[in-house]
A and B are shown apart, each in its own frame.
Chain A
Amino acid sequence: MSPPQQPSSTNPNSLKIRLTHRFLHNLNNLNKKRSNLDNTQIHQRYNRVKLAAYASMAHVVGSRRAWSRAILWKIRNRKVSTRHKRVDHKPTNHHHARSIKRRTTNHSNPKREYVDPNGNSGQEVKLRKLVPGVETMDACGLLDETADYIKCLATQVEVMRNLVDLFSTI
């Protein structure tokens, strides 16, 4: 039921449209699945909305980009770990699931010192932490991914803002 993919993926207008659809789709699923949480724990819902936002962003871009792949991978791992959590309610398995999650999510973001030969260690390290999936890329690819990530993030922010605005007025 996903909207048809448009060829000009870097066109911000088409990106926005696709993002909107995808995001609303995800939110809708969210609402349907966890309808029991409607009145409880805004924080949980907030987390899920945030997750839906990033997921929709990553899905729209697909596997073309390293950052979208990293996000999709993280989400998949998180789903697996939560599934483990739900199935086995023993504390040991819970621990195990949590450790799995932590191990896998940290796999793509190991906390290690990266010293750039150019001496830009502080900034590039920070950038690598911010943009998912660029830990092992060279400076050139890093900037490329950052540009794409920024574009998608900005579009996502705009879509969300519009949604909020609309929902607040209705």
Chain B
Amino acid sequence: MLHCHYTTMNIPGNTSGTDVSVLERQQARMKWQQQQQEGLSNGNDHRFRARVEIKPDPDLQYEWPDFSDACQDQLIPPLMTDHNVKKRKTHEDYKQKAVSKENGVKDKKIKGCSDENSTETSLKEKPKVVETQKQEYIHVRARRGQATDSHSLAERVRREKISERMKYLQDLVPGCNKITGKAGMLDEIINYVQSLQKQVEFLSMKLATLQPRLDFDIDSLIMKEMFEIPAIGYSSEVANSTYFQVNSLLEMGNSPIDTMLRRSTGGPVSIPEAFVLSSCFNQMQPGVTWDGDLHNLYRMEIQQESTTIPFQPHKFTGSYEGSNLKMEL
């Protein structure tokens, strides 16, 4: 016979739950807490004033509980048999904490009716409630209906984790800076993963067609390269020495990849330019500086060899790349 009602409290300046700043909420909370304690100290008559009446919120948002006089008589009497102020305070504190929960799932509201029954259990946790209330003060939001504190805490922590990961994903997926919201981000992520997988397919097809022409016997060379040339960042001296080495190994075919990779991974130059540089090294002079001229080299390379696939050496920029690749072939 428990009724679930949700109340709304109008905090001045509070337009929507999510937009209210943390500070405003904190201030409102303090005010409410003070009012509550004043009400409690006034006596038994005000026992029910502190009762939180909750009404269904049509906006799908929770607002602060109303500190109204109308109370839930059906819910309270069986539980408030003893006029223990401490207990009541615990309950109030607990509900206050419960009240201050983040925007959550709506269906959890309904479980809130059992909240009343668990008041007694919350008594034991009184110091814990108060403590956690202070810790979680800023971050949690109106939630009537968590059976225990640990649940709401865990939920909040979980949501924080998820939002943290979404932010990290936002950095990974290019072009997602403007998208806010989980749904849009998920869409973008799905698209990105699909496009990456299609790229792998496409490139492996390309490699498969190229394979018979090439000698892949490079393991020994790779290992040699790996241990001879330590992976250092950019410096023109290192780059120059690499050029000489590359020149000597050019006829082998594929080892330049690794040297160039190691050189270029530390710097801003994209790898295709480095590769092209290595392949056209025997045509160019070794005294080429690393930084600015690679673009020129690349262009000249393209002009000289008509068989070169005009591959754009820009970084991968998202799903556009996939379609570009398809168009090229």
Contact = CB atoms under 8 A, between A and B. Distances in A.
Contacts of A113: none
Contact of B200 (A13, A45, A120, A153): A153
Interface stretch (B89-97, B136-144, B203-211): B203-211
Given A117-B105, A166-B279, A158 B186 contact: no
Contact of B211 (A31, A50, A157): A31
A28 B217 contact: yes
Contact of B190 (A25, A127, A170): A127
B261 interface: yes
A49 B254 contact: no
A3 B257 contact: no
B213 to A, nearest CB: 8
Contact of A38 (B199, B211, B218): B211
B182 A166 contact: no
B262 interface: yes
Interface residues on B, range: 35 or more
Interface in B257-315: 257-258, 261-262, 265-266, 271-272, 275-276, 278-279, 301, 305, 307-309, 311
Interface stretch (A75-83, A100-108, A138-146): A138-146
22 contacts: A1-B223, A13-B265, A21-B222, A24-B222, A25-B222, A31-B216, A46-B205, A50-B204, A117-B105, A120-B182, A120-B186, A123-B183, A127-B193, A144-B165, A147-B165, A147-B172, A150-B193, A157-B199, A157-B316, A160-B203, A161-B199, A163-B257
Interface of A: 1, 3-4, 13, 16-17, 20-21, 24-25, 27-28, 31-32, 38-39, 42, 45-46, 48-50, 52-54, 117-118, 120, 123-124, 126-127, 130-131, 139-140, 143-144, 146-147, 149-151, 153-154, 156-158, 160-170
